[in-house]
Structure 1
Amino acid sequence: MKARVCRETVVSFCCSKFAAIFLFLAVFVFIFVYFNMDVLEFQHKAISTFPAPKPHLQHRFCSFQPRSPEDALEERLLLDSIAWPETPSLPVPLSLEQTTDPAQSTFTILPEKGGRQWHVGDQLEVIIKMYDFQGRPKKSGGDVLLARLHNRALGAGVAGQVLDHLNGSYSAVFSLLWEGSAQVEVTLVHPSEAVTVLHRLTREQPDRIYFQSVFRSGSVSETTTCNVCLHQTQQPLCNYTDPHTGEPWFCYKPKNLGCDTRISNSVGEFKHKLKAKEEKLFQSGVNMKISIRASGSDSVTVLPKKKDQQEVKSNIVQFGPAGYYFQGVWQALGGMTVRQFNTPSAINQCLKGKFVHLRGDSTIRQWFEHLNAVLPDLKEFNLHSLRNLGPFMALDYANNILIKYRFHGPPVRSPNHVPAIELHYIANELDRLVGGTNTVVVFGIWAHFGSFPIELYIRRLQSIRRAVVQLLDRAPGTLVIIRTANPRVSTLFVSLTNSGWYSLQRDKVLRAMFKGLNVHLVDAWEMVLAHHLPHDLHPQPPIIKNMINVVLSYICPQKGS
């Protein structure tokens, strides 16, 4: 009897003890979930369905939770580093009278009245003064300006570095790198007032380009809207957030099909809501991509280098360019020698035994197309891929050369229906590589991110960088080459989705993100800006050939360089 009472007492005590523990754990889990909803928001499994956000979360329509405190700090520092000068608030309704007028703005070569000679190795400074349509000096900065020094007859050109003095005046500084005439060219890409609009559009309308996916099961097919961020509705969402990288992607769930029946992705329409007359800030021939005239001479004569003149190198000149063109050939600065691979045999000799992985957008696809065109022994496999999207693969069996290309993961602005299974994130692709001295990785990713918050681009690069670091840790001999963004033609549509300002911001982030790592840059920004050919999203063949020479020079550097 006493034994049974004892057992009952022990059981009662244990039950009460475990009940207290379970109660504590339940309270702890509730508190953890409540205070970490932002973190958990993107940590669902790869394909799931969940209801639309509650009304009080609508203001967080498109936010991105950093993966770690270190990532959050880096994001904050990057955002600070690319912070644009405060641009004027726009009157409603908008009037062009107080906005930047490139026709009345001028630049002047310093010093204004001779008194000095310029030699190779010197720096040339230009002062730029901006005026509005009423002819009044601008009092604030924020205009988007590009500068180039060139000599068309010599096939020479170099990009200038523009400094904003925040008072309506700017400086452009050029390295003088060749003898003879050198002509200054300054271009207004966007007035500061247009930057105000572009900044607001990204903040308020990050979904102005939307995407669509087809869902199919048997004879039943449905199409729904997809994006990085979707507006609140009563329609549940399919969550396609990548489980490895955490890259977010969502679609509205079809009414009659499951989330696992998604088969393709394509770009939908472009929708924007500009305020009254804001289109006037994006007028070709008026205030967008317009040359600014010189006040006085627009050129100087450059004499030979002085005997004691220090050689120009990008790492010792205050405003040093990455390189310059001379006789149409890109010359790198900073110690690298760009070799000229002018024959298929020279390219074959360099790539012999190499496995080249090309990853990224269509500006990287151009490089695959170039190599595939100039190498007669490189045979492309028919993978029955979409012509503009890939994946592509070409093999030179005799020389043991394999080149593969694959587009990056969403967002992908293609009107074609891309199989969803073909959309691979670059970081995941890199994590699957063995790497080694015969492996070359080349990637470029920027052109499809212009309409989205810069935080999304930062997240994407952070995941790619982690994969690059891990690849180089396990296979230090792997060669990693990164293509930067480049200037492009400007239209209203381009400006509102991927303007020169958007590209410039992302270019700065890319360079900062990979600085200090054992990777190499192909400076597409300067290589396009310094060339006489028009700016284009897809640079013309002479520029591509120079870019390929840079890539091959990294793979097969000149001995002793």
Structure 2
Amino acid sequence: MLSEESGARRLELVKDRSLREKSQDVLLSPKVGKLSPGFILAYTWDPSNPSGESTQTENDPQWNKEPELTSYYTHTCLTFSGNLEELASSSSSSLGLVLPNLTLAGLEYEVFFSSYSNQEYEVFFSSYLNREYKVFFSFTLSSPTPPSRQSTVKRATMGKVFIGILIFAIFFLSFSLHRLYFQESLRHFVQNCIAPTNPKQPVTTPPLETSPPKTELQAQVDAIFDKIEELIPKPTYTHISQTSNGKNSKTSIVNPRGVYCVGEDFVVQVDMYDHAGNKKSYGGDFLRPRLISPNLGAAVSGVVEDFKNGSYHVRFPLYWAGTVNINILLFYPSEGVAAVWRSRHSSQGVIGFQGKFEKSGKTAAATCGFKLPEADGKEICEYKDTLYEEVFECYKVEGFPCESLDEMRGYDLFATYLTPVEKQIFQSSNIVIEIPQSFPSVTVTQCNTSVTLPPKPKCQTGMSSPYPSGYFYGNTWNPVYCSMTAYKTPEMYSNCLQGKDLFLIGDSTLRQFMMHFTEGIKIVKYFRYHYSGWAGWSLALEALNMDKDIYVSYKRHGFPLEHDEFYYFKGDLYTSQQIDLTPGGKNTIFAITMGQHFRQFPLKIFIRRAINIRRALERLFLRSPDTKVIIKTENTRELYAPVERQGDFHGYTQYLVLREVFQGLNVGFVDAWDMTVASGTASVHPPSYTFEGILSLTFSFAC
């Protein structure tokens, strides 16, 4: 007869990948004829009992209480170890291990059976559960009379066969019903029942959805995108005759009166008509309004209020005395606005890219882009920055590692996503049309000469920029919210920049700054650059003035860049990366812009880049709060630029993004969009007084 101590066999129940570390022991004594059916063996890790030891007994009234699980996915490992033949041959008992009352309460379950030897077995049960989980077992230990050795061995063998058949049947049923979860379950079994980990750490399993959850950055990008998309009209039309026509549209003065005074608003109503002469019933037209006095060198942008019924109010603030006229352009009809918005988001971009790989003196080229389609037999090199969530791809060239990408160029895909009717909308006779002024010129008077306005504060970073942010008078820009220094001479720039490091990061509209300093007013000299003008556009530039300790650097904002010749690509860093690599300080100035090279791609790419720049600036201000940072919005460009590739409505939506992203940050906001609209500039690189106004406001913030 086996003694109670020697006859005891362990039934180990383990939770969470801790098979060899934690167990709950249940002693099965051969003196017990039968364990009570429904004996609950489910085990739950309890944070208040980190050792994992059981604090309950079989007689405890709470023993049969359904356990609360700490995770949605639970594995229970059930191990029976011992010599079945030895136990079966004992004089007091024989073992028949049966599972007649197996119950799994849950949505799905898997059963795994393994044999480490002829005498050691493990049974694993795992279940996907929403809330609760139980495993019920009945074990029978009985033998009234000592069996013979042969019959005992036979019963033990039959017991093994019965267990195997039963578990295989359960496993097959589970696999048939839940084959979609089988591989996931097996992976978690390996992790939770075999792999050694910290038993105090609860197991969590991600949901089975294929798409990963949004990151905080992606949620921000989507929120801003949705805000912009709400502004896009949704017109319904079938023929070009139903679209907005600038020449047929009308203007009128709201509340006309005999005298208009400086400081008041002048409001004009615009009623849109279609080509057939019918009043439009919906809004969404892209209007570009200005109030101008050409003889005074004066101009200001107007603010458009869309009533969504084909009528608009345009408000012009009156900042100067004299004769004024309105200039309101129907830049794109509302039907065209909807078309270019849809076109922009119908592909990964209308510009293609080609990367050049170099290895051991050999070169090869491959297609690149933000997201490449999978092609048979083609591997894809992914260039991803996980911190900024920026990524682009190139097809891998056989024999060239992904790291050997050296140069890049952009090229026009000559792609269009406009319908035939939409293409008619964008004919030159239908866009950038001046709406006729149906009233005579208006005279503005300085009515209150006795009123003295308080002086405006000096332009400083952190100020909020309204719209319109200023006006031209005498061909000089005048911000309405701060006092700007008009930079007219080289000495003024030299005094501002003396002892300073100026970092220009962006596109050619900031390279224009560098050309002005080196080839225009000549306050610095190029370092290791022997060209002039726009030659060597793709090169990063440096310029110095050793006597006045001035350093000026120009670098591109990184991919994407539209340039049809190969340029050195490895040195390009995203703007946010360049900011992170610069210590900053009171003698450091950043001037940052972007926009023109993003118009060819979906707007979310631009939004992500803008948010990343803001985040990098927030880090910069933490380590160097005295650093001066100026954000310049993009300029308007040529009136009849290709609408899908470079059109100004793309630029306008990006302008709205920059106003949204950088509000509340300690930066100087140079509203170049407002300046170029007010001056009527039709060049991406504005000349003369418009450019001087952009420079003057930039360095009023900087110095």
TM-based fold match above 0.5: yes
Structure 1 residue matching 2:686: 3-state secondary structure: coil
- Contact map agreement 1:348 1:375 (CA 8 A) in 2: no
Per the TM alignment, residue 26 of structure 1 is displaced from its structure 2 partner at its CA by: 3.7
What's the offset of the Cα at 1:179?
A: 0.9
What's the counterpart of residue 607 of structure 2? Answer: 458
Q: How does 1:518-537 map to 2 (within 5 A)?
A: 518-532=666-680, 534-537=681-684
The partner residue of 1:106 within 227, 250, 253 is 250
Q: 1: CA distance between counterparts of 2:571 and 2:466? A: 42
For 2:512, the equivalent position in structure 1 comes to 366
What displacement does 1:74 show?
6.1
1:475 aligns to 2:624 (yes or no): yes
The aligned counterpart of 1:213 is 355
For 2:497, the equivalent position in structure 1 comes to: 351
Change (3 A) 1:455 1:377: closer
Change (3 A) 1:391 1:104: same
Provide the rounded CA distance (Å) in 2 between the counterparts of 1:9 and 1:448. Answer: 71
1:463-497 C-alpha deviation (Å, 9 max, x unpaired):
1111001101111110010001222223362x111
Q: Pick one of 375, 382, 385 that aligns with 2:528.
A: 382
2:665 pairs with 510, 517, 522, which one?
517
Mean CA deviation greater in 136-145 or 310-319: 310-319
- How is 1:182-261 mapped onto 2 (pairs within 5 angstroms)? 182-234=324-376, 235-261=378-404
Name the CA distance, whole Å, in 1 between partners of 2:211 and 2:410.
30
Aligned to 1:435: 584
More helix by share: 1
CA distance in 1 between partners of 2:473 and 2:405 (Å): 51
Aligned to 1:548: 695
What residue identity is the alignment partner of 1:463? Answer: N
What do residues 140-177 of structure 1 show as CA deviations (whole Å, max 9, x unaligned)? 11110010011111100111111111001111111101
Alignment pair present for 1:508 and 2:656:
yes
Q: Which residue of 2 aligns with 1:272?
A: 416
Q: Is this contact kept in 2: 1:121–1:309, CA < 8 A?
A: no
Are the aligned partners of 1:207 and 1:229 in contact in 2 as well (CA < 8 Å)? Answer: no
The answer as to 2:443 corresponding to 1:296 is: no
Alpha carbons 1:89, 1:196 under 8 Å: kept:
no
Instruction: Return the offset for 1:311.
Output: 5.0
- The AA in structure 2 aligned to 1:211 is F
The one-character-per-residue Cα deviations of 1:52-91 (angstroms, maximum 9, x if unpaired) are xxxxxxxxxxxxxx532x6515631552255224331343
Q: Which portions of structure 1, spanning 4 or more consecutive aligned residues, are displaced by more than 3 angstroms?
A: 8-39, 307-320, 383-386
Quick check: 1:324–1:332 contact (8 Å CA) kept in 2? yes
Number of the residue aligned with 2:226: 79
Distance in 2, Cα, partners of 1:168 & 1:116: 28
Gaps of 5+ in 1: 40-65, 557-561
Q: How many residues align?
A: 515
Aligned equivalents of 2:464, 2:626: Cα separation in 1: 31
Shift of residue 337, structure 1, vs aligned partner: 1.3
Contact kept, 8 Å, 1:141 with 1:192, in 2: the verdict is yes
8 Å CA contact retained: 1:85, 1:141: no
The letter for the 2-side match of 1:438 is N
Aligned mates of 1:236, 1:29 — CA distance in 2: 35
Distance 2:674 2:382 in 1: 39
1:323 shift after superposition: 0.7
CA separation of 1:172/1:349 partners in 2, compared to 1, >3 Å: closer, same or farther? same
Given that 2:477 and 2:693 are in contact with CA atoms closer than 8 Å, whether structure 1 keeps it comes out as: yes
Q: Structure 2 length as normaliser, TM-score?
A: 0.68
CA distance in 1, matches of 2:425, 2:702: 45
Distance between the aligned counterparts of 2:203 and 2:354, measured in 1?
37
Contact 1:362–1:389 under 8 Å retained in 2: no
- Identity among equivalent pairs (%): 28
Deviations along 1:154-207, one digit per CA (max 9) or x if unpaired, are: 100111111111001111111101111111100111111111211221221233
User: How far is 1:544 from its partner?
Assistant: 1.2
* Alpha-carbon separation, structure 2, partners of 1:492 and 1:83: 25
Partner of 2:572: 423
Cα distance 1:376–1:317, how it changes in 2: closer, same or farther (>3 A)? Answer: closer
Instruction: Select the residue among 305, 311, 314 that pairs with 1:169.
Output: 311
2: CA distance, partners of 1:308 / 1:147: 32
Shift of 1:371: 1.8
Offset at residue 34 of structure 1 (A): 5.0
CA apart distance, 1:228: 1.1
State the superposition RMSD in angstroms: 3.2
Partner of 1:147: 289
Q: SS in structure 2 opposite 1:251?
A: strand
Corresponding letter in the other structure for 1:527 = M
Shift of 1:377: 4.0
Separation in structure 1 between the aligned mates of residue 466 and residue 537 of structure 2, nearest angstrom: 38
Answer 1 or 2: higher relative contact order, Cα 8 Å, separation at least 6: 1
Counterparts in 2 of 1:541 and 1:196: CA distance versus 1, 3 Å: same
Q: Secondary structure at the match of 1:239?
A: strand
State the AA in 2 paired with 1:289. V
TM-score, normalising length: structure 1: 0.85
| 1:129 equivalent in structure 2 | 271
After the TM superposition, which of the residue ranges 411-420 and 72-81 deviates more from structure 2?
Answer: 72-81
Who is 2:542 aligned against?
393
Q: Is the 8 A contact 1:205 1:272 kept in 2?
A: no
- Secondary structure of 2:230's aligned partner: coil
CA distance, structure 2, for counterparts of residue 444 and residue 135 of structure 1: 43
Distance 1:283 1:29 in 2: 62
Inter-partner Cα distance in structure 1 for 2:203 and 2:266: 64
Q: List per-residue Cα deviations over 1:212-258 (Å, max 9, x = no partner).
A: 10112235432211111222322221101124322111112223422
Out of 309, 322, 347, the position equivalent to 2:469 is 322
State the distance in 2 between where 1:479 and 1:317 align.
16
- Label 1:194 to 1:15 Cα distance change in 2 as closer, same or farther (>3 A): closer
* Pairwise CA distance, 1:131: 0.7
Return the letter of the residue paired with 1:111.
N
- Shift of the 547–204 alpha-carbon distance from structure 1 to 2, 3 Å rule, reads same
Structure 1 residues 333 and 198, CA gap change in structure 2 (3 angstroms) = same
**Conservation of the 8 A alpha-carbon contact between 1:213 and 1:251:** yes
Please say if 1:497 is aligned against 2:645. yes
Name the SS of the counterpart of 1:465 in structure 2: helix
CA displacement, residues 368-402 of structure 1 (integer Å, 9 cap, x when unaligned)? 11122234341111258972122100000110110
Higher Rg of the two aligned structures = 2
Closer, same or farther: CA 427–513 of 1 in aligned 2, 3 Å: same
> Letter of the aligned partner of 2:583 in structure 1?
V
Q: CA deviation at 1:12?
A: 12
Q: Deviations over 1:100-147 (max 9, x none)?
A: 1111112222335xx331011010001011111101111111110010
Contact 1:230 1:250 in 2 (8 A): yes
Return the offset for 1:264.
0.7
Cα pair 1:82 1:505 within 8 Å, conserved: no
CA 1:491–1:341 in structure 2 vs 1: closer, same or farther (change >3 Å)? closer
**Aligned-partner SS, 2:468:** coil
